[in-house]
Amino acid sequence: MDTTPAIIVGLPDLMHAARVEARGVMEEFKGDYVAEHRAVLARLTAAGAISDDEAETLLGLYKLGYEAGEPKGNALQAYFETRDIYAKMLAGTKPSPVALVLASAALGSFEVSVGPEGSTTVSIARVSYGSSLAGIGAALGTLLGGVAGGVLGGAIGGLIGGIVDDKKGKGKT
């Protein structure tokens, strides 16, 4: 078995960096989740990982999910709108891999389940961390490893955010 300890030595440092970054963003914007996400997207744009247009689209996707989680939100409608936007991004001309990962995390923030009688339920956490942590992971990954690092960081952040959402419980169906 070939083992290379060097590839995991920096994991605690990366975990610490992610915590510091997340806390810094949260403190700066004092609970304004949309502003937090906008700031993360601005960092990705400045790093050249996503375009200005992609940042606007991704902010729109975040707002869709955020509003769907509100008490009067419509998770089902927001899910289909998010899925359509993501499909358009996939079919677009040279989309950024980082933007696609973040859009995928936005779509993955919704949970679609089918009941025994065939009914479909779509739910999303009141404040979903899937998109937020995907953005933070992508920003850190981009700084450390360019676009490839941003893709990996975004995917890992989105996955961890989904776990956080599941631990908190879905707040809106």
Q: Mind listing the pLDDT tens digit for each residue in 54-66? A: 999 999 999 999 8
Alpha-carbon span 59 to 38, nearest angstrom: 6
pLDDT of 87 strictly over 50: yes
pLDDT of 172 strictly over 50: no
- Residue 127: pLDDT band (50, 70, 90) is low
Range from 99-103, 119-123, 131-135 carrying the lowest mean pLDDT: 131-135
Reading the block at residue 127, the tokens are 């404040």
Distance of alpha carbon 171 from the chain centroid:
18
Q: Domain for residue 83, yes or no?
A: yes
Q: What is the pTM of this model?
A: 0.78
Q: Residue 1: its pLDDT value, please?
A: 47
Q: Domain for residue 3, yes or no?
A: no
Q: Domain for residue 7, yes or no?
A: no
Q: How many domains does the chain have?
A: 1
Q: Domain for residue 98, yes or no?
A: yes
Q: Domain for residue 110, yes or no?
A: yes
Alpha-carbon span 8 to 13, nearest angstrom: 10
CA-wise closest residue to 121 among 76, 71, 166: 76
pLDDT of 119 strictly over 50: yes
Q: Domain for residue 1, yes or no?
A: no
Q: Domain for residue 105, yes or no?
A: yes
Reading the block at residue 80, the tokens are 């289909």
Most confident of 19-23, 70-74, 138-142, 157-161: 70-74
Q: Domain for residue 173, yes or no?
A: no
Q: Residue 4: its pLDDT value, please?
A: 47
| Structural domain harbouring 152 | 12-168
Segment 106-135 mean pLDDT? 82
